Amino acid sequence: MRTFETIASVNLLEQLLDSRCVGCTAWGDIVCSTCLARCGGSPVHGTSSRGIPTTALGEYRGVLRSLVLAAKHRGARAVVRRLGGELRHIGLRFAPAAAIPVPSSAPGFRARGYGLGAIVANMCDLPVVDCLRLVDEGTQRGRRRDERHVRRMTISPQRPPVGTRVVIVDDVVTTGASIDAATDACHAAGLRVVGAIAIADATRSVRRDQSA
Ligand SMILES: [Zn+2]
């Protein structure tokens, strides 16, 4: 089993080997200041089908999309940390609340032992309680893209007390199904879901795919 130190050194190695900006490929930082500036300032606000206000840093395209993909496949912590300022700003809107990450279903994250949702939650400056668990771990192969995120969730015994204000945190909102599943699990455990936070909102591009 990999220790935290091993994971950290793998991330460091990834950063040393590839020091191009994920947005414009300029040599230097993993994301340059110009591209980083393009990631903030235009948050996407919405309401989930359960009536939960959702906020994403921006739409899932351009530099933000490159950042999310880099976070998924390369040094997740290093990339998400660059978005810390923006995420803290959004997190404060819901404070006081506990941040509950949507559990990752990606095999890569399961292998590494941590998910992007948990890393994003850590950047929101809210206490993080990693208590959501996926119920259905069946194969995703053969399922439509918009169905892949439909996973039933449950809450572990290490949950916040009944009545606690909580914010659900995910990496990308595609159909909103993950946030709905997380909301249902939190409600069943007596938690008050006051909002949802994501790095990027892909609901518009999902709708474009479906109408094409
Ligand atoms: Zn750049």
The pLDDT of residue 24:
86
How far is the centre of ligand 1, averaged over its atoms, from the C-alpha of 183 (Å)?
Answer: 36
Mean pLDDT lowest among 48-52, 88-92, 147-151, 183-187: 147-151
List b or e across 162-183, with b for residues whose CB sees 16 or more CB atoms inside 10 angstroms. eebbbbbbbbbbbbbbbbbbbb
If you average pLDDT over every residue of the chain, what do you get?
A: 82
The pLDDT of residue 1:
47
pLDDT digits (tens, 9 = 90+) for 130-139: 999 988 655 5
How far is the centre of ligand 1, averaged over its atoms, from the C-alpha of 16 (Å)?
Answer: 17
How far is the centre of ligand 1, averaged over its atoms, from the C-alpha of 33 (Å)?
Answer: 7
How far is the centre of ligand 1, averaged over its atoms, from the C-alpha of 29 (Å)?
Answer: 8
How far is the centre of ligand 1, averaged over its atoms, from the C-alpha of 82 (Å)?
Answer: 12
Domain annotation for the chain: domains and CATH numbers: 4-211 (3.40.50)
By the 10 Å C-beta count (0-12 exposed, 13-18 middle, 19+ buried), 41 is classed as exposed
The pLDDT of residue 42:
85
Mean pLDDT lowest among 49-63, 68-82, 170-184: 68-82
How far is the centre of ligand 1, averaged over its atoms, from the C-alpha of 162 (Å)?
Answer: 44
The pLDDT of residue 161:
96
How far is the centre of ligand 1, averaged over its atoms, from the C-alpha of 177 (Å)?
Answer: 32
How far is the centre of ligand 1, averaged over its atoms, from the C-alpha of 32 (Å)?
Answer: 4
- Classify 164 as helix, strand or coil: coil
How far is the centre of ligand 1, averaged over its atoms, from the C-alpha of 133 (Å)?
Answer: 36
pLDDT digits (tens, 9 = 90+) for 138-165: 555 555 555 554 678 999 999 999 999 9
Q: What is the reported pTM? A: 0.80
Confidence label for 27 from pLDDT (cuts 50, 70 and 90):
confident
**Is 80 exceeded by the pLDDT of residue 194?**
yes
